[in-house]
Chain A
Amino acid sequence: MSSYDSSAISQVRALRTPGGVQAVVVTLQGEVDLQHSPAVRQQLIDEAGKRPGRLVVDLSAVNYMDSSGVASLVETLQRVRGYGGELILVNPTARVRSIFEIARLDRIFRILTDLGEAMGE
């Protein structure tokens, strides 16, 4: 396989919600496919390892995602739930949302349309 390509990770921010919950917002961009998902997976696993109360993944700038990207999010969801945290996906495009619907994961993930709502503002 190629070495990890981290260009799909735009930004990682550590924040605190108005309610005082420690939160991390990971902003992804571009195409999260087999080329980019290993780096995305590693970043998300690293962030989950810090055990924030809320891990938010902003998908608004992702224009393509395949099952390898979805698998990274499923693995992260399992880890976050494992320590009692919450994973929230924000604002996926219709195309990205469609793969969650095909995989019937739109009922498993908490998917919101607004980053402010995800932060509890």
Chain B
Amino acid sequence: MTSRSAAAPVMVRILSDPKYLCVARSAAERFCTLAGLDAASSHAVGLALDEALANVIRHGYEGRCNQPIHIEFDRVEPGPEGPDPALRIRIRDYGCQVDASAINPRDLDELRPGGLGVHIMRSVMDEIRWRRRGLTGMELEMTKRIAPSAGSAGGCGQERS
């Protein structure tokens, strides 16, 4: 049994070109706000998504700019998967498959460029899980709990008169 979703998920499809990262970030931040996260947390989730997509572009698609990436945003209500509502993001690509257990953050005491993306994603999100899908590509699922005191989901910031 899976948790009930408060509203229909939002799906965004982009090509693996870095110029579309800003589009995905904007969509993430707006969805997070609707889902009940505050502005700082919404920005952080946008950053985590950016890092995940950059990894797909650089490693999954090895820099090719015309490959598909599917992103799904959802708010999951309390249920068997957890006592708090949560924001869930799924990223599906069709690139190289890797061993999910080999994806780990590097030692931050080592000063060198690169390798910070996974650390940032793990710092921002509560749960991260990669898995292989079919014969090609990976799916990344990232979850961030929404504090119970946060605003309710689904509002558009306007009341009907």
Contacts and interface: CB of A to CB of B under 8 A. Distances in A.
Interface in B84-120: 108, 111-114, 116-117, 119-120
A29 to B, nearest CB: 14
Given A71-B114, A104-B108, A35 B50 contact: no
Nearest to A41: B113
Contact of B108 (A2, A75, A103): A103
Interface residues of A, number: 25
A64 B54 CA distance: 15
A39 to B, nearest CB: 12
A77 B50 CA distance: 24
Contacts, number: 67
A74 B113 contact: yes
Interface in A22-77: 31, 33-35, 64, 66-68, 70-72, 74-75, 77
Nearest to B58: A34
A64 B50 CA distance: 11
A66 B108 contact: no
Nearest to B50: A66
Contact of A103 (B43, B50, B119): B119
Secondary structure of the B contact surface, majority rule: helix
A1 B50 contact: no
A68 B63 CA distance: 14
Interface in B115-146: 116-117, 119-120, 123-124
A71 B116 contact: yes
A2 to B, nearest CB: 6
Interface string B7-44: 00000000001110110010000000000000010011
Interface of A: 1-2, 5, 31, 33-35, 64, 66-68, 70-72, 74-75, 77-78, 95, 98-99, 102-104, 108
17 contacts: A2-B19, A5-B19, A33-B54, A34-B50, A64-B25, A66-B54, A67-B54, A67-B117, A70-B116, A71-B113, A72-B113, A74-B111, A74-B113, A99-B47, A99-B120, A102-B120, A104-B108
Interface of B: 17-19, 21-22, 25, 40, 43-44, 47, 50-51, 54, 57-58, 63, 65, 108, 111-114, 116-117, 119-120, 123-124
